[in-house]
Amino acid sequence: MKKRWPLILIGILIILLGFAYVTRDQSKQGESITAVGSTALQPLVEAAGEEYSKVNPGIFVNVQGGGSGTGLSQIQSGAVSIGNSDLFASEQTGIDEKKLTDNRVAVIGITPILNKKAGIKNLTTKQLQAIFTGKVTNWQQVGGRNQKIVIVNRTQGSGTRVTFEKRGLNKARSIASQEQDSSGTTRQIVATTPGAISYVSFSYINDTISVPTLNGIKPTNKNVTTNKWQIWSYEHLYTQKNTDKVTKRFIKYVLSSHVQDELVPQLGYIPIKDMQVERLE
Amino acid sequence: MNAKRYDKLATGLLYTIAGIVVLILLLLLGFIIIRGLPQLSWSFLTTPSRAFTAGGGIGIQLFNSIYLLILTMLISMPIALGASIYLNEYAKPGKVTSIIRTMIEILSSLPSVVVGLFGFLLFVVQFGLSFSILSGALALTVFNLPLLTRSIEDALKSISNDQRNGGLALGISKWETVTKIILPAAVPSIVSGLILSAGRVFGEAAALIYTAGQSAPALNFANWNPFDIDSPLNPMRPAETLAVHIWKINSEGIMPDSSAVSAGAAAVLIIVVLIFNLLARWIGRLLFKRLTAGS
Amino acid sequence: MDKIRESILTKSHASKLERRGKIISFMCLGGICLIVLAIFIFIAYRGLATFTSDHVSIFKFLGGTKWNPEVTENGHPLVGALPMITGSFLITILATLLALPFAIGTALMMTDITPKMGTRILQPVLELLVGIPSVVYGFVGLTVVVPFMRSIFGGSGFGILAGTFVLFVMVLPTITSMTVDALKSVPKDYRSASLALGATRWQTIYKVVLRTATPGILTAIVFGMARAFGEALAVQMVVGNAALMPTSLVAPASTLTSVLTTGIGNTVLGTVQNDALWSLALILLLMSLAFNLAIHLIAKRGELKR
């Protein structure tokens, strides 16, 4: 009779599960929205989602990273409700932008950063291009100290890199070099490696690195809103063309003044309504 | 004379090498724990993490890690047990058996990134489980099965054949011999194998990034009904584990205290693995005493 | 009469149990094999697409030194995987070579010199080293090893050498514990016989124990290499991820796994860029196959010798 106890245990477990199922909280079965994609955009959507759930109990916003490419391919296949992306769908190969609705929710500025020992205060677009295409290899050649240039790139296909090459390098392609996935690590490398140059979004600027002006223009949010500083990109929440009401309502919430005025600047983004110019590609 | 001097020299060398290995571990542990210890507090261990403000904890991630580990073990343990019993007790040596063995070995040497991506396409997308604890547990099962099978098989192998013959001589069937005699005798070494693999599962990140997901929605720890969406026990909710959390804040953490949080989380991870090891030894010894009727 | 007949002809409870147990345990094994097959088919299907639907020649893929899948040259995307393949092999071989003396030394301590201290101290040390997650290794590598490399060799500090040091610690427990198994399987009689002949402990170890255990130790090495070859996150954090042919050990380089982990999230399933990454995964898979084959060959050789 010793053998009975596993059976009894399983029986009790099943009864417990059944009881749990019957007494489950019906109001919390509600809808959930899944957003997948850009790791840079993830905290914003996460924070907005948390607040949204507080105001609208029963709706859960489930945010995942995975990269802009994953986000776009997931929204294209219809596996998720929102695809977070740092890029326009047209900039990503393999995505048919006509099938998707673009919701631009914020803007982010990107700036070159240098190691402090480079001794550079200003760069021109031409110089920047020459550096990243390998034509210039010493800071002396662009008016700095005698120090070899170390290029630290961002991962191929990442939003920051695509935007930087398109806007900062005039569509020139950077030579192959060290690549870093994360902004924090990139900043750390540039801060500690003599002669290093890379690029990060504005929110990563601090005093461990030096930030040159580009063609005499300072990388500030204000200059981005007027397009005087040209290296910036939108943050997009892509949805399917005929998406459901729940998703639409959530995106409306993200564009509401509450999120735009409080959360967006807190996370280092520029609110979309501050922009005085618009880009379509 | 010369030979003796060599002997002493070599012994000294071996002691030095072992000393260096111990030193490496001590330095590693010391570094992680000394850097992380100042962050540790009850509130750090219990409060949810924060995305972009300072003062977040790792409460949910810690719970997720443990729950995911338990689920993974619940799924993989019976399968690994069955497979290793068949391999060690029933399988006849031959081509088929050796092919199967090779397959398990290949599975164990597969990079965990590949396992994670496989899990992403199969469990998350194909089976529609979305980013959830269940997807994560299944991916971890794939990752864990070969390790566990191998260690259980080794444990079974180490039981002397006299025990098997003894069982058969008593007239009981092979299956009963295995379940009643061999398995209980092997429990202590099975348990220590279990813990080793549990340690690896607990710290695994690459296989989980695309399966269990990278977000930890708020949980209601007063609600233990597994069918509610905010219940800690719900297997269908996304769950960022501690290891994934460390990876994430090291790559994209934008909270001002991210380096402190990651140091603290790393320390917690190491301490939990340490506790596992100690616990396992203790339980293994206890079980050995109880199951073998030894005093 | 009938009762006896019946009890002989019908299956006893025990034999039913036996059958059931055998079937259940076989199904468990079958399940594992199914998973392995699924992974193989799935990765081969994705990985071969680079060659079948994107028409990249295999030789250009394996021998090309330019990795830039977004750029096409003469109608073919630039997907030369040689820099990553070289990087992976260099790191794997260097880390294993570095770990080998430590592993054998530690294993000998545990089996022949001080078994007591071995089980009390070294065994838990190894288990802990296995237990430390690769993310934590990467974190330590980034905060300790890379700055250390930078202060000695200059440059950024990222590179093959930094990866080697991180992987060295990671493969050490694998190689050591398998070497311990190999040494333990050397019969006690061999040791006693050698000592009785008047050999010192070192002579016994060097001339008898290590020689007998050679196939087992080789297996341990290959296992360690397989682990090193497939390690992703820790290596990715310290190697620098530059898809360039490695020119020096302290210059940024890349491995198959590092390119795979950083790239897969930024590409769209079904595009050339994504397919090329799956081809890298396929190489990883084939390499673990090759490592296993090597282990089998070693085991066969070892058996023949005895």
Residue B169 sits in a domain of what CATH number? 1.10.3720.10
Assess contact for C157 and C146: CB atoms under 8 A: yes
B251 touches chain A (CB under 8 A): yes
Nearest CA in chain B to A180: B251
Report CB contact under 8 Å: B125, A34. Answer: no
Summarised one tens digit per residue, pLDDT across range A240-267 is 988 888 899 999 999 998 889 988 888 8
pLDDT(A15) > 90: no
Say if A31-106+233-274 and A109-225 have the same CATH topology.
yes
Report CB contact under 8 Å: C43, B118. Answer: yes
Q: In terms of Cα–Cα distance, which of B225, B203, B210, B174 is closest to B272?
A: B203
User: What kind and span of H or E run contains B216?
Assistant: none
Q: In terms of Cα–Cα distance, which of B225, B241, B215 is closest to A29?
A: B225
Residues in chain B within 8 Å Cβ distance of C295: 105
Strands A100-114 and A232-240: antiparallel
3-state SS assignment for residue A103: strand
**How many angstroms separate the CA atoms of A47 and C40, rounded?**
40
What pTM did the predictor assign? 0.83
B residues 158..217 contacting C (CB < 8 A): 172-176, 178-179, 195-196, 199-200, 202-206
In this structure, what is the dihedral angle of CA atoms C110, C111, C117, C123, given to the nearest 10 degrees? Answer: 40
Q: Give the per-residue pLDDT at B295.
A: 43
Summarised one tens digit per residue, pLDDT across range C273-302 is 888 888 998 998 888 888 888 888 888 877
Report CB contact under 8 Å: C274, A94. Answer: yes
Who contacts C89 (Cβ-Cβ below 8 Å, separation ≥6)? none
Give the residue-averaged pLDDT of A131-151. Answer: 90
The CA-based angle C41-C43-C46, given to 5 degrees, is 105
Enumerate the domain spans of chain A: 31-106+233-274, 109-225
B residues 99..128 contacting C (CB < 8 A): 100, 102-107, 109-115, 117-118, 121-122
User: What kind and span of H or E run contains C94?
Assistant: helix C82-108
CATH architecture for the domain at A31-106+233-274: 3-Layer(aba) Sandwich (3.40)
Nearest CA in chain B to A181: B251
> What count of other Cβ atoms lies within 10 Å of the Cβ of residue A206?
10
Residue B224 forms part of a structural domain: yes
Assess contact for B246 and B39: CB atoms under 8 A: no
Assess contact for B67 and B234: CB atoms under 8 A: no
Give me the helix-helix angle, C82-108 and C160-184, nearest 10°: 40
Q: Which domain holds residue B225?
A: 40-292
The percent of residues above 70 in pLDDT, for chain C, comes to 98
Report CB contact under 8 Å: B110, C201. Answer: no
C residues 234..263 contacting B (CB < 8 A): 237, 257, 260-261
Residue B5 forms part of a structural domain: no
AA letter at C44: A
User: What kind and span of H or E run contains A234?
Assistant: strand A232-240
CA distances from A111 to A92, A104, A152, B250, B289 (A): 22, 21, 13, 21, 66
Q: Which of C266, C267, C269 to mutate to test the interface with A (most CBs of A within 10 A)?
A: C266
Q: Residue B92 gets which letter from DSSP?
A: P
Please give the CATH topology (third level) of the domain spanning C82-305: MetI-like fold (1.10.3720)
| Residue corresponding to tokens 């296992």 | C223
Q: What is the nearest CA distance from A66 to chain B, expressed in angstroms?
A: 7
Using a 10 angstrom Cβ sphere, with 0-12 exposed, 13-18 middle and 19 or more buried, the burial of residue C105 is buried
Who contacts A280 (Cβ-Cβ below 8 Å, separation ≥6)? none
Residues in chain C within 8 Å Cβ distance of B82: 24-29
Residues in chain C within 8 Å Cβ distance of B105: 292, 295
Residue pairs spanning A and C at CB distance below 8 A: 91
List chains adjacent to chain B, taking adjacency as at least 3 C-beta pairs closer than 8 Å.
A, C
| Secondary structure of A9-76 as H, E, C letters | HHHHHHHHHHHHHHCCCHHHHCCEEEEEECCCCHHHHHHHHHHHHHHCCCCEEEEEEECHHHHHHHHH
**How many angstroms separate the CA atoms of B16 and A213, rounded?**
55
B20 touches chain A (CB under 8 A): no
**How many angstroms separate the CA atoms of B37 and C119, rounded?**
29
pLDDT(C65) > 50: yes
Report CB contact under 8 Å: A177, C244. Answer: yes
3-state SS assignment for residue B79: helix
Give the residue-averaged pLDDT of C193-213. Answer: 89
B125 touches chain A (CB under 8 A): yes
3-state SS assignment for residue A152: strand
pLDDT(C74) > 80: no
Two structure tokens written together for A47: 């924070």
Who contacts C249 (Cβ-Cβ below 8 Å, separation ≥6)? C90, C94, C159, C160, C161, C164
3-state SS assignment for residue C268: coil
Give the residue-averaged pLDDT of A228-232. Answer: 93
Does the predicted interface ipTM exceed a cut of 0.85? no
pLDDT(C1) > 70: no
Provide the b/e sequence for A20-58 (b: ≥16 CB within 10 Å).
Answer: beeebbeebeeebbbbbbbbbbbbbbbbbbbbbbeebee
3-state SS assignment for residue B237: coil
Residues in chain B within 8 Å Cβ distance of C24: 82
Q: Give the per-residue pLDDT at C171.
A: 92
Q: pLDDT grade, residue A129 (50/70/90)? A: very high
C residues 142..171 contacting B (CB < 8 A): 142, 144, 169
Q: Span A109-225: which CATH code?
A: 3.40.190.10
Mean pLDDT over all residues of chain C? Answer: 86
In angstroms, the first-to-last Cα distance of chain A is 75
List chains adjacent to chain C, taking adjacency as at least 3 C-beta pairs closer than 8 Å.
A, B
> What count of other Cβ atoms lies within 10 Å of the Cβ of residue C125?
23
Q: Residue A235 gets which letter from DSSP?
A: E
3-state SS assignment for residue C253: strand
Report CB contact under 8 Å: B142, C35. Answer: yes
Give me the helix-helix angle, C160-184 and B2-36, nearest 10°: 120
Provide the b/e sequence for B183-207 (b: ≥16 CB within 10 Å).
Answer: bbbbbbbbbbbbbbbbbbbbbbbbb
Phi, psi of B17, deg, nearest 5:
-60, -50
Report CB contact under 8 Å: B226, A17. Answer: yes
pLDDT(A237) > 90: yes
Residue B97 forms part of a structural domain: yes
Residues in chain A within 8 Å Cβ distance of C260: none
C153 touches chain A (CB under 8 A): no
Q: How many structural domains does chain B have?
A: 1
- Of residues B52, B225, B250, nearest to A20 (C-beta): B225
pLDDT(A132) > 90: yes
Q: Give the per-residue pLDDT at A1.
A: 43
Give me the helix-helix angle, C272-305 and C82-108, nearest 10°: 40
Residues in chain C within 8 Å Cβ distance of B18: 105-106, 109, 122
Phi, psi of B232, deg, nearest 5:
-60, -25
What's the sign of the alpha-carbon dihedral C104, C105, C110, C112?
positive
Summarised one tens digit per residue, pLDDT across range C119-155 is 888 888 887 787 788 888 888 888 889 888 888 887 7
- Of residues B172, B199, B274, nearest to C14 (C-beta): B172
The residue with greater pLDDT, A230 or B94, is A230
In this structure, what is the dihedral angle of CA atoms A9, A11, A13, A18, given to the nearest 10 degrees? Answer: -170
Residues in chain A within 8 Å Cβ distance of C273: 93, 157
Summarised one tens digit per residue, pLDDT across range C12-40 is 777 788 888 888 888 988 999 999 899 88
Phi, psi of C55, deg, nearest 5:
55, 45
AA letter at B97: T
C47 touches chain A (CB under 8 A): no
**Residue ranges of chain B whose pLDDT lies below 50:** 295
pLDDT(C57) > 80: yes
Enumerate the domain spans of chain C: 2-52, 82-305
